[in-house]
Structure 1
């Protein structure tokens, strides 16, 4: 599978899980669950992307730190 096919499969899977979760746990109707899932799915994907990006930047920042940490300066 190509990268975009994997992303599409994950997105559809997440959407289906959110619809089912809303339908059977919240007791909403199918229409309401489908509409709410249209909002929740992109938000969840964005939050996952943001977490990944933040972690990557934190790792890079930790490697590139030029000044020593305050506790290391006192030694």
Structure 2
């Protein structure tokens, strides 16, 4: 059995600590979930997050929407 044969299930969901300009992996996984849309974001595609809110975003539009909601 190798990594491709395993059924990761919920463990595919990574747990991260978001910092300013970088993040630390607390629990390994393949993706995180966008706090605005609920979309799965592969870790290799993760570019937008909030260190303040500890949330990930699928893209710049989602990050801006959350910023407007919390700072508007």
TM-score normalised to structure 1 length: 0.25
More strand by share: 2
Q: Which has the larger radius of gyration?
A: 1
More helix by share: 1
TM-score normalised to structure 2 length: 0.26
